[in-house]
Amino acid sequence: MDSDDDRGAGAGCGPAPAAEAREDAPTPHEASPPVGGMAGLSLPYQLIAAVALAAFGVLACTQVAMVFLHVAPSNTLTKQHGAAVDEWVYPEFEQNWKLFAPNPLQQNVAVQVRTEVAGPDGPHTMPWRDLSAEDGRAIRGNLLPSHVQQNELRRAWDFYVGSHDDKNRANGLRGTLSEKYVRRLVMLRLGASHDGQTVLRIQVRSEVRAVAAPEWSDEKISTSPSYRVLPWWKITADDLPEDAAGSEEAGQ
């Protein structure tokens, strides 16, 4: 028979391996969180996303560089690649200021027109018509004015002034283009006839008034108008809207 010591030793030693086995048993792995972002995509989609991000980055950097060169003072890059910069910027991203010399408008410029019409007693001249004032009335009180109402006439006049000298002589190919643009824009507003009388010629002018100084300023600024009057332009079928030109040709 076994002695008490042997039984005790056996009894004491028996449970120990089981306890050690329980302590050493591996615990279940916790579920790993899902991988997000590009890392969660398959390899082909990761490549597509990387290419798209790279293309967007290149486009954004190109846009910033082109606009910077457009507004920066003349330098070697703009002299060598000015045409490429202009093609990128115009007309969507044009800026009306220079980087180191801002030129906010300090004048109110109104574009006006008068017509010569073929009356029953011969040609006669109609009074001046303020097209800018008409645009202003259309904008005033309008919560969502259109781009045409706000900028079309103003930009057309700026285009003409920038491509002509003080004597209204074109200083390049853009001068002829600006004249045609202004004529077509004005005739789009006027129509081919006035009170049933055919428009023969038009004359455009600008009325410029300096913005008055604020009440708190001691600065003295003259707000008297100054005018820039263009020569009379003969109206042809090319200057008329398509529907008006078609009806006039049919009448002839």
- Rounded to the nearest integer, the mean pLDDT of the chain is 82
Given this model, what pLDDT does residue 195 score? 76
Predicted confidence (pLDDT) per residue in 88-124, tens digit? 888 777 776 666 666 667 889 999 999 999 988 889 9
DSSP string, 60-116: HHHHHHHHHHHHSPP-HHHHHHHHHHHHHHTTTT--SSBTTB-----EEEEEEEEEE
Query: What would the mean pLDDT of 150-159 be, rounded to a whole number?
Result: 92
β pairing state of 197-210 and 233-234: antiparallel
Query: What would the mean pLDDT of 214-230 be, rounded to a whole number?
Result: 90
Q: Catalogue the E-assigned strands of 128-167.
A: 129-130
Tell me the pLDDT band of 218, cut-offs 50, 70 and 90.
confident
Given this model, what pLDDT does residue 250 score? 44
The answer on pLDDT for 166 being more than 60 is yes
Q: Give the separation between CA 88 and CA 44, rounded to whole angstroms.
A: 33
The answer on pLDDT for 176 being more than 60 is yes
Could you tell me the pTM of the whole model? 0.59
